[in-house]
C-alpha cells in the first residue's frame, strides 16, 4: 500500500516533452544534420522515478569510437534496479552521433567534441553541438558519470578519473567501486570541466579500447554506475557487498617511444612495476640493435599501446603512481577475479 504522505517526484521536462513520475520516455534531441539535410538526433532516455531525488546523467561515446559505454548504458536501462527509482536518470548512449556513424573519435571537421565545451550557438560544428548538449541535457543534471575507453589501439585498465578536491566528486569516485582512482586535472573544454564549474559533480570511467567490446570492462561499468546511484539514494538496498575503498593515484606519467620501430610489450595491463624494470623493447624490422624500455617510476600500468608499429614520441605506457603499490596490485587481482567470475549484471549471457 502506498503511503499518502510519501513525497512525490515532479514531472520532468526536456526538449518540450514531459515525463511523468513513474514513467520513462526516449527523447530525440536534434543536434545536427548531415550535408544531405538528413537530421541526426541524439536519443536521451529519461526515467523519472516516483519519488524525488537527484537528476543523474550517464553519457557515453562523446568520442564516437568508444563503445564500451554504449553497451553499459544499454544494460543499465534494462536493469531491475530502475523499477523503484528515486529521482531522475538521464541516459545518453551516444553523444557524438557523427563519430559513432563513421567509427571515429572526432567530428567531421576533425574536432574533438570533448574539447568544445561549453560551446556556443554560433561557433563551429563542435561548439554548436556542445552548446546544445550542455543547455538541453547537462544543465539539467545534479550529478554525472561520463563513460570512456582508451583511444584506438590503446587499452585502459578500468579506472576512475576525478577532481578529488571536490568532496562530492570524490565520494562518487569512491562509490563507483574500481580499485584505481586517478586525481585528474580538469582539461580545458571538457564536459568534466564545464560540469564542475557549475557545481555538478562528475566522474569519468575509463576502461578498454576504442572500437572493441571488453566484457569485464562492461560488467565493471554497469556495477559501478549502479553503485553510484545507490550512493546517491536513487536505488534501494543492494544485496552485493560494499565496494572496497579505492587506491588514489595523485600523479601519473607516460612512457614514450625513443625511436621508431616495432614495439614489443613485456608487461600486461594492470601489472605492478618497479622503477627500472624492463617493460618493453623497440626493434627495427630490418635488423639492428634493440632499444630496451625501462620503467621511469614504480606504479601500476593503467594504459598500454596495443599497436606494435610505433613512431618516435608515441605514448606506449601510462603508469599511475601509488605509495603502496603492492596493496593496489592485490586489490586489482581480487577485483578482476570478481568481475570475470561473477554473474552478468544484466541477466544476459556474456559477450564472447
- C-alpha cell at position 35: 550535408
pLDDT of 95 reads: 98
pLDDT of 347 reads: 47
pLDDT in tens, the chain (352 residues): 456 677 899 999 999 999 999 999 999 999 888 888 888 899 999 999 999 999 999 999 999 999 999 999 999 999 999 999 999 999 999 999 999 999 999 999 999 999 999 999 999 999 999 999 999 999 999 999 999 999 999 999 999 999 999 999 999 999 999 999 999 889 999 999 999 999 999 999 999 999 999 999 999 999 999 999 999 999 986 656 677 788 899 889 999 999 999 999 999 999 999 999 999 999 999 988 999 999 999 999 999 999 999 999 999 999 999 766 666 777 787 887 777 766 555 545 444 3
Phi, psi of 341 (to 5 degrees): -95, -20
Does the pTM surpass 0.85? The reply is yes
| DSSP letters for 182-220 | EE----TT-HHHHHHHTT--EEEEEEE-TT---HHHHHH
Look at phi and psi of residue 305 and say left if phi exceeds 0, alpha if psi is from -120 to 50, else beta. Answer: beta
pLDDT of 344 reads: 56
pLDDT of 350 reads: 45
Sequence-distant (≥ 6) Cβ neighbours of residue 173 within 8 angstroms: 160, 162, 164, 181, 203, 246
pLDDT of 122 reads: 94
User: b/e map of 163-188 (b: 16 or more CB within 10 Å)?
Assistant: bbebeebbbbbbbbbbbbbbbbebee
Q: Which long-range contacts (CB under 8 A, 24 or more apart) does 331-335 make?
A: 331/179, 331/244, 331/247, 332/157, 332/179, 332/180, 332/270, 332/300, 334/244, 335/158, 335/178, 335/179, 335/220, 335/244
Q: What is the C-alpha to C-alpha distance for residues 300 and 122, in angstroms, rounded to an integer? A: 44
pLDDT of 6 reads: 75
| DSSP letters for 60-115 | E-SSTT--HHHHHHHHHHT-GGGGG-EEEEEEES-S-HHHHHHT-SS-TTS--GGG
pLDDT of 349 reads: 45
Amino acid at each position: 500500500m502506498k503511503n499518502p504522505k510519501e513525497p512525490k517526484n515532479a514531472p520532468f521536462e526536456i526538449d518540450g516533452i514531459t515525463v511523468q513520475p513513474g514513467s520513462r520516455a526516449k527523447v530525440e534531441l536534434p543536434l545536427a544534420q548531415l550535408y544531405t539535410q538528413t537530421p541526426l538526433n541524439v536519443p536521451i532516455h529519461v526515467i523519472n522515478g516516483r519519488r524525488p531525488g537527484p537528476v543523474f546523467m550517464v553519457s557515453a561515446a562523446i568520442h564516437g569510437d568508444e563503445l564500451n559505454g554504449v553497451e553499459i548504458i544499454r544494460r543499465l536501462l534494462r536493469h531491475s534496479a530502475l523499477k523503484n527509482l528515486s529521482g531522475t536518470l538521464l541516459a545518453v548512449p551516444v553523444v557524438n552521433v557523427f563519430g559513432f556513424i563513421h567509427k571515429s573519435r572526432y567530428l567531421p571537421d576533425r574536432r574533438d567534441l570533448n574539447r568544445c565545451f561549453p560551446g556556443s550557438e554560433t561557433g563551429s560544428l563542435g561548439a554548436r553541438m556542445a552548446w546544445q548538449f550542455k543547455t538541453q541535457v547537462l544543465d539539467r543534471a545534479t550529478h554525472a558519470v561520463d563513460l570512456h575507453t582508451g583511444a584506438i589501439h590503446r587499452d585502459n585498465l578500468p579506472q576512475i578519473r576525478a577532481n578529488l578536491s571536490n568532496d562530492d566528486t570524490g565520494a562518487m569516485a569512491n562509490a563507483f567501486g574500481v580499485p584505481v582512482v586517478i586525481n585528474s586535472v580538469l582539461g580545458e573544454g571538457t564536459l568534466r570541466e564545464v560540469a564542475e564549474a557549475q557545481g555538478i559533480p562528475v566522474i569519468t570511467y575509463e576502461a578498454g579500447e576504442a572500437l572493441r567490446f571488453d566484457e569485464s570492462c562492461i560488467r565493471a561499468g554497469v556495477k559501478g554506475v549502479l553503485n553510484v546511484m545507490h550512493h546517491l539514494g536513487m536505488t534501494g538496498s543492494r544485496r552485493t557487498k560494499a565496494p572496497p575503498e579505492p587506491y588514489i593515484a595523485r600523479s601519473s606519467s607516460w612512457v614514450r617511444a625513443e625511436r621508431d620501430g616495432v614495439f614489443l610489450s613485456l608487461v600486461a595491463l594492470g601489472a605492478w612495476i618497479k622503477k627500472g624494470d624492463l617493460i618493453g623493447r623497440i626493434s627495427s624490422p630490418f635488423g639492428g640493435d634493440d632499444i630496451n624500455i625501462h620503467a621511469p617510476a614504480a606504479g601500476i600500468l593503467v594504459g598500454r599501446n596495443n599497436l606494435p608499429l610505433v613512431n618516435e614520441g608515441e605514448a606506449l605506457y601510462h603508469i599511475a603512481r601509488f605509495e603502496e603499490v603492492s596493496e593496489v596490485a592485490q586489490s586489482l587481482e581480487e577485483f578482476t577475479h570478481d568481475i570475470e567470475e561473477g554473474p552478468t549484471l544484466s541477466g544476459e549471457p556474456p559477450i564472447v
